[in-house]
């Protein structure tokens, strides 16, 4: 799947991913009214508003962006109706040719990890039948429990041609509280970076990158360069661009000298672009999806301006 992702990035000349992390206050009033009209101001109504919103965004970006990254928390909070909207969003995005990175950041012991893995990227058996449930192409994972908590996913990646992005250096302000601690002259994020690199050795594809990728926050510029050097065969999923404060110059070092090696995420910077001054003057609330397309185009240009 990493080869498929890189191929699509090259075809579109666009190493960016749109985070589908809706919030009700990002969603235009007319969409919410349609959804609430059908299901009331309920968890189902809110979930339906998410799905309508996502579909309109997906329709506008599918031909210019290689991938979307739905954040499962935003859906999970609405209970099973929200999970249904998450599943339907993935199904719709894939039907439009988008690659889907499920931002789930799961972590558990092996026997439990197996259930997550089968559900999200493998197949779930019910007696004689087996089901492909969530259908993400990639998922994100938390490494705090060590390699036996990651292996079940690595097995399913091999079996079903999927990919992983493992948290190495996160974009949030206190990410360093544990990740930046020193051990034997190395930071924890470097130790994990080395492990992730090692876990990926057996699955390096035709572009030189492995199925086991890393999450490296754009908000820590110096660490991006360090990790790019430390992990030459590891593809990076880079959050933090846009609303979290990082700009194009901050993410430049996530790419290698061939201009490959990373995909940069923006969520509300794209999906809620119509609320930003820059786009609000040109696009009405009804044109939120056109504003998203324009913001995705602008992001592509911005990122390409700093990579070789």
- Touching its own copies, residues 25-84 (CB under 8 A): 32, 36, 41-43, 45-46, 71, 73-74, 76-84
Which tokens is 29 given?
């009033």
Closest CB 141 distance from its own copies, rounded Å: 10
Report the C-alpha gap between 165 and 149 in whole angstroms.
Answer: 14
From the list 131, 225, 232, 305, which residue makes contact with its own copies (rule: CB under 8 A)?
131
Is 105 one of the catalytic residues?
A: yes
**In angstroms, rounded to a whole number, what is the distance separating the alpha carbons of residues 95 and 92?**
5
C-beta closer to its own copies: residue 14 or 219: 219
Compute the least distance from the CB of residue 142 to its own copies, in Å: 5
Smallest CA-to-CA distance from 154 within 107, 123, 122, 112 is with: 122
DSSP state of 152: H
Give me 167's structure tokens.
């948290």
**Part in contact with its own copies (CB under 8 A); list of ranges 182-190, 245-253, 281-289, 290-298:** 182-190
Report, in Å, the least distance between residue 223 CB and its own copies: 15
| Cβ partners under 8 Å of residue 19, min gap 6 | 68, 69, 70, 71, 103, 239, 265, 266, 267, 268, 270, 271
Among 27, 68, 154, 192, binds its own copies (CB under 8 A): 192
Q: Does 106 sit near its own copies (CB under 8 A)?
A: yes
- With respect to its own copies, which residue has the nearer C-beta, 178 or 280? 178
Do residues 146 and 107 make contact, with C-beta atoms less than 8 angstroms apart? no
# of chain residues touching its own copies (CB under 8 A): 72
Does the protein bind its own copies through residue 148 (CB under 8 A)?
yes
Question: Residue 267 is encoded by which pair of tokens?
Answer: 């969520």
Listed in sequence order, the residues at least 6 apart from 147 whose beta carbon sits closer than 8 Å to its beta carbon are 195, 199
Strands 212-216 and 163-169: parallel
Taking the least distance from each CB to its own copies, the nearer of 60 and 107 is: 107
Q: Where in 254-293 is the site for its own copies (CB under 8 A)? A: none
Q: At closest approach, how far in Å is the CB of 174 from its own copies?
A: 3
Regarding 232 and contact with its own copies (CB under 8 A), the answer is no
Six token digits for residue 223 = 């660490």
CB atoms near residue 278 (< 10 Å): 13
Select which of 105, 135, 186, 275 is catalytic. Answer: 105
Nearest-approach distance from CB 247 to its own copies, in angstroms? 18
Task: By CB under 8 A, name the one of 59, 108, 287, 298 that touches its own copies.
Answer: 108
Annotated catalytic residues are 105
């Amino acid at each position: 799947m990493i080869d498929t992702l890189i191929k699509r990035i090259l075809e579109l000349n666009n190493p960016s991913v749109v985070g589908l992390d809706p919030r009700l206050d990002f969603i235009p009033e007319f969409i919410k009214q349609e959804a609430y009209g059908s299901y009331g101001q309920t968890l189902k109504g809110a979930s339906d508003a998410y799905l309508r919103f996502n579909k309109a965004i997906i329709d506008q970006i599918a031909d210019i962006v290689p991938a979307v990254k739905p954040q499962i928390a935003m859906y999970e909070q609405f209970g099973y109706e929200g999970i249904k909207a998450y599943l339907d969003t993935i199904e719709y995005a894939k039907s439009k040719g988008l690659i889907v990175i499920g931002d789930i950041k799961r972590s558990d012991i092996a026997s439990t990890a197996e259930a997550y893995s089968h559900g999200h990227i493998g197949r779930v058996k019910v007696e004689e039948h087996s089901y492909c449930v969530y259908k993400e192409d990639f998922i994100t994972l938390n490494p705090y429990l060590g390699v036996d908590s990651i292996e079940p996913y690595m097995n399913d990646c091999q079996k079903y041609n999927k990919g992983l992005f493992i948290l190495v250096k996160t974009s949030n302000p206190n990410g360093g509280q544990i990740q930046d601690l020193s051990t034997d002259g190395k930071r924890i994020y470097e130790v994990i970076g080395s492990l992730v690199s090692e876990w990926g050795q057996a699955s390096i594809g035709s572009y030189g990158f492995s199925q086991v990728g890393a999450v490296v926050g754009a908000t820590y510029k110096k660490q991006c360069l360090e990790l790019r050097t430390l992990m030459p065969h590891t593809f990076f999923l880079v959050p933090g661009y846009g609303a979290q404060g990082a700009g194009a110059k901050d993410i430049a070092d996530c790419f290698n000298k061939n201009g490959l090696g990373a995909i940069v995420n923006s969520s509300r910077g794209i999906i809620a672009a119509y609320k930003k001054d820059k786009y609000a003057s040109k696009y009405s609330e009804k044109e939120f999806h056109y504003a998203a397309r324009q913001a995705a185009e602008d992001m592509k240009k911005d990122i390409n301006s700093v990579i070789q």
